[in-house]
Amino acid sequence: MNKFLKEFKDRGFFYQCTNEEELSNLMDKERIKAYIGFDCTAESLHVGSLLQIMCLRLLQKNGHRPIVLLGGGTTRIGDPSGKDKTRKILSEEEIEKNIKNIKNTLKKFLDNNNPKTKPIFVNNYTWLKNLNYISFLRDIGKHFTINRMLTFDSVKLRLDREQSLSYMEFNYMILQAYDFLELSKKENCILQIGGSDQWGNIVNGVELIKRYSNKQSYGLTTPLITLATGAKMGKSENGAIWLDEKFLSAYDYWQFWRNTDDRDVVKFLKNFTDIKIEDIKKVENNNINDLKILLANETTSMLHGEDAAKNSEQAAKEAFSGNSLGSSLPSIKINSKNMDNKLDIIDLIILSKLEKSKSEIRRLIKGNAVKINDKVISDEKLIITNEIFNEKYLKLSIGKKRHLKIELD
């Protein structure tokens, strides 16, 4: 079996493949181009997209060239796959801003220096914006039947639940297939990789290329990554685990991985780090907390750099040891003028962005989960005074794992 596909399977990336044996033989003989598409519906990707990013890294590692398709065109429509309602329509400015930020994040994960494997970034709006409707129906639409399109899960799910599916969304699968055709023509791309929910769309692309240009192409899908609890990968109890530091600090990202369920640790070491499979097997029976720290350090280093990972580990040790003013703790500054307006504990927590909901904060206070300088706060009406700050600093803690140093500016 081809080296790329073997590691793809060993790391738990593999779900389905069209003509696997032929693809394996081809990848043994030559360097190929493969693409993965990302919708740009938010300003940042979250860890739910991380498996696809790891696939891009694995392609580069094995000498192949990844194409990153940023869906500037299809984002204007919305992918119905796995969705039970129509997505919000974004403005042109929002989409362009999202594309720029997502591209910057993806570059952190990929090798941008080797000319042979350097990622190619494309925006499908480049070719979709100029499509002539009549010509598109005549040349591309004739290759798709409504009968078959109605059998795909992305459509069937919505119809079975008697939920609306707009004609705009219904066309998404045709446009994704057309993306593959365009990349086949422009970049000689022969492989599309995507999540298992994209299987129907990917197969459509493979078949369209065959019918339109009589060229062979391939599709490869990854499984839906779920937590041992059954929950979907990508979010925690405190919200989405964003990859952009503007929305989630390196410390909180580190903590997400450090708090991985024991049952998921070894699987995630395979899925989300570059540690060799044989090395993971050597340590998989080690102390589970040591493995969690290894996972947190590897994943955080990949995105935020080694220094951020080391600082996050140190900050976690300081927080756990009760060092209230640990220099490595994530910190924010608040204007001292806030103190003039009788800032209470609930407002302080909202300012800190550790929690957004006042009712949830009250519940946490009642459960003795809120601390200032390691002392439990039981009064939800507590006014924050200058005296509470220790040399202009205080440590705010929610539960055992969320800590923040607040500095008076």
CA distance 286 to 293: 12
CA distance 398 to 288: 24
E-only strand ranges, 309-377: 331-334, 370-372, 375-376
E-only strand ranges, 181-305: 191-195, 218-222, 235-236, 239-240
CA distance 35 to 4: 15
pLDDT of residue 242: 95
pLDDT of residue 20: 97
CA distance 241 to 34: 27
| Residue ranges in the chain modelled with pLDDT below 70 | 78-87, 235-238, 319-328, 341, 390-391
User: Per residue in 4-32, pLDDT tens?
Assistant: 999 999 999 999 999 999 999 999 999 99
3-state class (DSSP) for residue 166? coil
Residues 6 or more apart from 116 whose CB is under 8 A from it? 31, 63, 65
pLDDT of residue 324: 47
CA distance 11 to 276: 9
pLDDT of residue 306: 96
pTM for the model: 0.80
For tokens 């769309």, what's the residue? Answer: 201
DSSP 324: T
CA distance 194 to 69: 12
| Cα of 211 vs its chain's centroid, Å | 34
User: Per residue in 363-397, pLDDT tens?
Assistant: 999 999 998 887 899 999 999 887 777 667 788 88
Work out whether the CA dihedral 211, 217, 223, 224 comes out positive or negative.
negative
- The span from the first CA to the last CA of the chain, in angstroms, equals 60
CA distance 353 to 338: 16
pLDDT of residue 322: 55
Half-sphere exposure of 404 (CA within 13 A, CB side): 22
Half-sphere exposure of 34 (CA within 13 A, CB side): 29
List of domains in the chain: 3-222 (3.40.50.620), 249-321 (1.10.240.10), 331-408 (3.10.290.10)
At residue 367, φ and ψ (nearest 5 deg) are -90, 15
